[in-house]
């Protein structure tokens, strides 16, 4: 291959790719020992310098834009192309990429290539277009692309019937992604429309929470997952870890463990299990949660519903909860319905409860 195949001012995609391949061979042949132990930033700097040198030799008008430590995406700009640098110390061609929201993406880039340095095992470098290298979307504290330079099956974009360029320009990425997961039968309520849940990176145990924190989360869980009344806790536990970074291997016991208790309200007194007792203790707060218009979107996402207002949501919750109560026989010792109990609790003049407080 000779230098004169490259245009002076503009290169078409395959020509730019061939240039990157030349730099790759240069590095493997002449800088092997150096790149075997090079840092992530060090490799970015080295590749940027090489790219500048080669373009200068070709008398190209393409200008390399790289600032060490910058958060711009891709790492190296050379409009209309961009180069994203990835490195790994493992012997695998897999790494997490940037956030799908791409808040720091360069605006003058039309095609992005991934240059991936694998330092584990036999040192090697692979180069692919970003569209070809993205295999999946993974969730850390936000949805991020997974880069896999060794993928041999359908990538995430093929599965979603799109490509990187179309998805990147989509202003409604999260609804698109949520729809894809929903069609797969997977839950995606942990995705908000900004792609960020603002959760702590620290994973906490439910047992480590304060009494007040436990009560707040119990309200949220019973509002979103009334099926806990039927001893179905899997979705609630998954929700806690994905949305709040809270996990407990004995999560179910935290909600339902314990014997029967006597619940008193007004002149009524009846026996209920611990899970039902927890719900009744939190019922006023649960209703407040359901009546908060800011929670409509979250509730619809979790339930897979399309309710338009809090009235519809509250009615649906009472129906769901009552169905669970009937199946489980949770209020079999009283003639009061859940809605009647809620009315009694909301009327302060009639409320005279001596129920156990949460997690006492």
Task: Kindly report, residue by residue over 94-109, the tens digit of the pLDDT.
Answer: 998 888 888 889 999 9
Say yes or no: 135 and 273 in one domain: no
Of 152, 174, 196, the position where a domain reaches its end is: 152
Say yes or no: 215 and 341 in one domain: yes
**Count: domains in the chain:** 2
Does 157 fall in a domain?
no
What is the pLDDT, as a whole number, of residue 186? 61
Say yes or no: 224 and 316 in one domain: yes
Does 106 fall in a domain?
yes
296/290 Cα distance (integer angstroms): 8
Does 243 fall in a domain?
yes
Say yes or no: 248 and 119 in one domain: no
Q: How confident is the model at residue 202 (pLDDT cuts 50, 70, 90)?
A: low
Identify which of 226, 233, 245, 190 has the alpha carbon closest to the alpha carbon of residue 318: 226
Mean pLDDT of the region 70-78: 92
Report, in this order, helix, strand and coil percent for the chain, each rounded to 5: 45, 15, 35
Of 152, 184, 214, the position where a domain reaches its end is: 152
Q: In whole angstroms, how far apart are CA 246 and each of 84, 214, 229, 300?
A: 34, 11, 21, 22
Say yes or no: 210 and 341 in one domain: yes
Token pair for 155: 């990538």
Say yes or no: 227 and 321 in one domain: yes
Say yes or no: 142 and 231 in one domain: no
pLDDT 10s digits, 138-181: 765 567 888 999 987 888 899 889 999 999 998 888 778 877 87
- Of 143-147, 288-292, 321-325, which gets the smallest average pLDDT? 143-147
Say yes or no: 336 and 230 in one domain: yes
50/56 Cα distance (integer angstroms): 10
Are 356 and 277 spatial neighbours (Cβ–Cβ below 8 Å)?
yes
Q: How confident is the model at residue 360 (pLDDT cuts 50, 70, 90)?
A: very low
Does 90 fall in a domain?
yes
Write down the residue that tokens 């969730």 correspond to: 139
Q: In whole angstroms, how far apart are CA 4 and each of 7, 15, 81?
A: 7, 11, 20
Are 76 and 23 spatial neighbours (Cβ–Cβ below 8 Å)?
no
Does 178 fall in a domain?
no
- Of 49-63, 139-153, 178-192, which gets the smallest average pLDDT? 178-192
Mean pLDDT of the region 207-235: 91
Say yes or no: 326 and 262 in one domain: yes
Say yes or no: 19 and 84 in one domain: yes
What is the pLDDT, as a whole number, of residue 264? 81
146/135 Cα distance (integer angstroms): 6
Share the mean pLDDT of the chain. Answer: 84
Does 193 fall in a domain?
no
- Of 41-55, 282-296, 298-312, which gets the smallest average pLDDT? 298-312
- Of 159-163, 176-180, 337-341, 345-349, which gets the smallest average pLDDT? 345-349
Say yes or no: 249 and 126 in one domain: no
Cis before residue 17, ω within 30 degrees of 0? no
Does 113 fall in a domain?
yes
Does 158 fall in a domain?
no
Domain extent at residue 134: 3-152
Instruction: Look at strands 111-118 and 124-129 and give their pairing.
Output: antiparallel
Say yes or no: 143 and 34 in one domain: yes
Token pair for 228: 């806990």
């Amino acid at each position: 291959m000779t230098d004169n195949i490259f245009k002076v001012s503009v290169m078409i995609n395959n020509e730019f790719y061939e240039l990157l391949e030349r730099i790759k061979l240069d590095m493997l042949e002449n800088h092997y020992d150096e790149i075997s132990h090079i840092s992530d930033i060090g490799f970015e700097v080295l590749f940027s310098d090489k790219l500048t040198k080669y373009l200068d030799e070709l008398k190209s008008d393409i200008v390399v834009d790289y600032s060490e430590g910058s958060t711009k995406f891709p790492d190296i700009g050379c409009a209309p192309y961009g180069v994203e640098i990835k490195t790994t110390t493992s012997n695998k061609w897999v790494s997490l990429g940037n956030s799908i929201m791409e808040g720091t993406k360069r605006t003058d880039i039309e095609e992005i290539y991934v240059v991936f340095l694998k330092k584990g095992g036999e040192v090697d470098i692979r180069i692919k277009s970003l569209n070809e290298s993205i295999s999946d979307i993974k969730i850390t504290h936000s949805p991020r692309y997974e880069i896999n330079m060794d993928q041999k099956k359908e990538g995430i974009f093929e599965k979603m019937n799109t490509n990187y360029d179309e998805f990147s320009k989509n202003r409604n990425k999260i609804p698109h992604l949520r729809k894809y997961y929903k069609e797969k039968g997977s839950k995606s309520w942990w995705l908000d429309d900004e792609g960020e849940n603002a959760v702590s990176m620290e994973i906490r145990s439910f047992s480590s929470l304060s009494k007040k924190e436990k009560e707040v989360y119990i309200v949220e869980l019973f509002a979103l997952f009334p099926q806990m009344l039927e001893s179905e806790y899997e979705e609630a536990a998954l929700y806690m870890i994905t949305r709040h970074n809270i996990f407990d291997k004995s999560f179910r016991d935290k909600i339902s463990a314990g014997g029967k208790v006597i619940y008193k309200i007004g002149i009524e007194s009846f026996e209920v299990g611990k899970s039902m007792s927890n719900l009744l203790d939190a019922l006023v707060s649960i209703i407040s949660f359901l009546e908060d218009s800011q929670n409509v979107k979250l509730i619809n996402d979790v339930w897979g519903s399309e309710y338009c207002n809090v009235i519809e949501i509250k009615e649906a919750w009472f129906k769901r909860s009552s169905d669970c109560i009937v199946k489980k026989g949770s209020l079999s010792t009283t003639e009061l319905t859940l809605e009647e109990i809620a009315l009694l609790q909301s009327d302060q003049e009639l409320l005279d409860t001596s129920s156990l407080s949460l997690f006492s």
